[in-house]
Structure 1
Amino acid sequence: MNWEAVGQKRLLNLDELEEIIMAAYNNAKIYKDKTKKWHDQKILPRPYQPGQQVLLFNSRLKLFPGKLKSRWSGPFIITNVSPHGAITIKSPRDNHEFKVNGQRLKPYMGAHIERDKAVMSLRDA
């Protein structure tokens, strides 16, 4: 047995393994960049202005959500828009302000419906 030849072969195998690892790392980076580019083109920028009414998406996990219950709450009023996507909204009921991600909002396109009066009028009919 020639120990020097075995040692040289082992070093060559380690170099090959390092090259394979670097190739896999580069391929993973290329894949992630392509996936991010595809995902980012699906996200539509929504321009919001202060004073605009919006609905807020309730993303909390619920074990038994109502089948017909809406996951959108609001309307809320925008008070401040940051350039990086954070939006400060205010509740018209109690004037409580908080910041949310702009992707959790959508423009409010309707009039406020008082649910109690709508239910009462349906019961009377």
Structure 2
Amino acid sequence: MDMTLAGEKRLLKLNELEELRYDAYENSKLYKERTKRWHDQHIRNKSFKVGDKVLLFNSRLRLFPGKLKSKWSGPFTISKTTPYGSFELEANGNKFMVNDHRLKLYHCNDQIGMIECMRLDPPDPKSLS
């Protein structure tokens, strides 16, 4: 086999490999842009005002580790807001500041509805004939 022919084949293979790498890089870049665009469209803006009831995410509480234990505590009432996304919460006379990333709105249903029960008895066999 001729050495010059082998060298040319080797250069062609290297160029082909470089093109494949470049295509993979471009595809990865397009995928990341598309994923970022989708993520940015699905971000919900949180807007809280004074008097709202919120739940606080408690990531540090590890007293009773368990899958079924809720990581949200509260509800707390917002007593003060700042322009930089931190809020002063109040519960039982205690006040403390938290970041809005740790809050979510508390949807409570204060009205308790009446429950009506109906008894369904099986039909009398004599009335069916």
TM-score greater than 0.5 by the shorter chain? yes
What residue number does 1:105 align with? 103
State the shift of 1:43 in Å: 1.9
What residue number does 1:64 align with? 66
- Paired residue secondary structure (2:22): helix
- Structure 1: which 5+ runs fail to align? 112-125
State the shift of 1:54 in Å: 2.5
Q: Distance in 1 between matches of 2:47 and 2:100?
A: 15
Matching residue's letter, 1:32: K
Q: Per-residue CA shift, 1:10-64, capped at 9, x if unaligned?
A: 1111111011011011112212222222232222222234664422233569641
Matching residue's letter, 2:66: F
Report the more deviating stretch, 50-59 or 29-38: 50-59
Q: Distance in 2 between matches of 1:26 and 1:2?
A: 37
Contact 2:51 / 2:77 at 8 angstroms: preserved in 1?
A: no
Matching residue's letter, 2:106: Y
Matching residue's letter, 1:79: T
What residue number does 1:119 align with? none
Q: Distance in 2 between matches of 1:109 and 1:11?
A: 66
What is the percentage of aligned positions where both structures have the same residue? 43
Contact 1:55 / 1:72 at 8 angstroms: preserved in 2?
A: yes
Q: CA RMSD in A?
A: 3.0
TM score, norm. by length of structure 1: 0.60
State the shift of 1:73 in Å: 1.8
Q: Distance in 2 between matches of 1:19 and 1:61?
A: 52
Q: Per-residue CA shift, 1:68-95, capped at 9, x if unaligned?
A: x54322315253242xxxx213342432
- Paired residue secondary structure (2:82): strand
Q: Distance in 2 between matches of 1:54 and 1:99?
A: 12
Q: Which has the higher helix share?
A: 1
- Structure 2: which 5+ runs fail to align? 110-129
Query: Aligned residues, how many?
Result: 103
Matching residue's letter, 1:54: V
What residue number does 1:73 align with? 73
